[in-house]
């Protein structure tokens, strides 16, 4: 089956059709269509307040849509509970439990879901290995560096083996050097897991280096979408040019 935009349904990662969002009288998202392929690293960029987080939260199910449809894979999830969508979100504030060890922070959602103990241990150890946290599993968050804490937050998403990872400016609390390092780690993680990822940032360097496909948001619409170099070389309007285009 084909979904109109050219991507076969079985290749579909996340699909938005006519999505709108208002808060009271304020229209934040006016009409967004998007096709993100399975396994693709998609990045939403745009100025502060343009609705990047709102859009991501609608994909996660943390915010209702005012109108439109959202598919994850072949399933329509527009009215599904967040827990049923097969997504996991990583926030800018790591939101770790300070009284729990790194292991227990990563195990938390699996324990809630009453997964068998052996499975919990295996999944946490696998995630820890990917994130180089194996030697830190018994520590408390307060004993970790900022980068390690952010990796624990990512580990909490990995153990759930989601179809789609959602990142909301996960590196913006880190210093510049660590941001560069974590950027490389995220790229490595994407390669290792092969999962669909949607990543929100207002940092154009992050967008250019991480994305398979960039969506430039402004004024409630997607101004342009495409591969980073295509947007850079051939921005469709002055806004896109100013944001990521080449300075010609």
Bridge partners (DSSP) listed for residue 15: 35, 71
Selected range binding Mg ion among 5-13, 46-54, 110-118, 140-148, rule: CB under 5 A: 46-54
Kindly provide the b/e burial profile for residues 78-103, where b requires at least 16 CB atoms within 10 angstroms of the residue's own CB: beeeeeebbbbbbebebebeeeebbb
Smallest distance from the beta carbon of 59 to ligand ADP, in angstroms? 12
Q: What is the DSSP letter of 2?
A: B
Binding flag, residue 150, Mg ion (CB under 5 A):
no
CA torsion sign, 44 to 146 to 86 to 41?
A: positive
Selected range binding Mg ion among 45-53, 59-67, 92-100, 179-187, rule: CB under 5 A: 45-53
* Nearest to 54, CA basis, from 63, 46, 45: 63
Selected range binding ligand ADP among 8-16, 41-49, 173-181, 233-241, rule: CB under 6 A: 41-49
70, 78 contact by CB (below 8 A): yes
Distances (CA, A) of 207 to 42, 53, 203, 228: 9, 15, 6, 8
Smallest distance from the beta carbon of 52 to Mg ion, in angstroms? 5
What is the pattern of x (binds ligand ADP, CB under 6 A) and - over residues 51-80?
xxxx--------------------------
Kindly tell me which of 53 and 148 has the beta carbon lying closer to Mg ion: 53
Binding flag, residue 201, Mg ion (CB under 5 A):
no
Selected range binding Mg ion among 37-45, 52-60, 100-108, 204-212, rule: CB under 5 A: 52-60
What is the pattern of x (binds ligand ADP, CB under 6 A) and - over residues 113-152?
----------------------------------------
Smallest distance from the beta carbon of 10 to ligand ADP, in angstroms? 31
Quickly list DSSP for 159-174.
TT--SEEEEESTTTTS
Binding flag, residue 53, Mg ion (CB under 5 A):
yes
Angle between helices 176-193 and 146-158 (to 10 degrees): 20
Chain contacts with ligand ADP (rule: CB under 6 A): 23, 28, 46, 48-54
């Amino acid at each position: 089956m084909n979904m109109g935009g050219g991507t076969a349904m079985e290749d579909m990662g996340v699909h938005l059709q006519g999505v709108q969002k208002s808060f009271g009288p304020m229209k934040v998202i006016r009409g967004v269509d998007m096709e993100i392929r399975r396994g693709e690293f998609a990045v939403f960029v745009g100025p502060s307040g343009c609705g990047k987080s709102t859009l991501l939260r609608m994909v996660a199910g943390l915010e209702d849509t005012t109108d439109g449809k959202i598919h994850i894979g072949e399933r329509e999830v527009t009215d599904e509970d967040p827990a049923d969508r097969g997504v996991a979100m990583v926030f800018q504030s790591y939101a770790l439990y300070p009284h729990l060890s790194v292991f227990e922070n990563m195990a938390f959602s699996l324990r809630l879901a009453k997964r068998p103990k052996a499975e919990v241990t295996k999944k946490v150890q696998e995630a820890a290995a990917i994130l180089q946290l194996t030697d830190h599993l018994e520590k408390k968050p307060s004993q970790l560096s900022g980068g390690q804490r952010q990796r624990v937050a990512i580990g909490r998403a990995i153990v759930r083996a989601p179809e789609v990872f959602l990142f909301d400016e996960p590196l913006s609390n880190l210093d510049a050097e660590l941001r560069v390092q974590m950027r490389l780690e995220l790229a490595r993680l994407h390669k290792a897991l092969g999962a669909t990822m949607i990543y929100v940032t207002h940092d154009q360097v992050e967008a250019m280096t991480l994305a398979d496909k960039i969506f430039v948001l402004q004024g409630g619409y997607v101004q342009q979408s495409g591969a980073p170099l295509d947007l850079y070389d051939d921005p469709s309007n002055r806004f896109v040019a100013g944001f990521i285009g080449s300075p010609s």
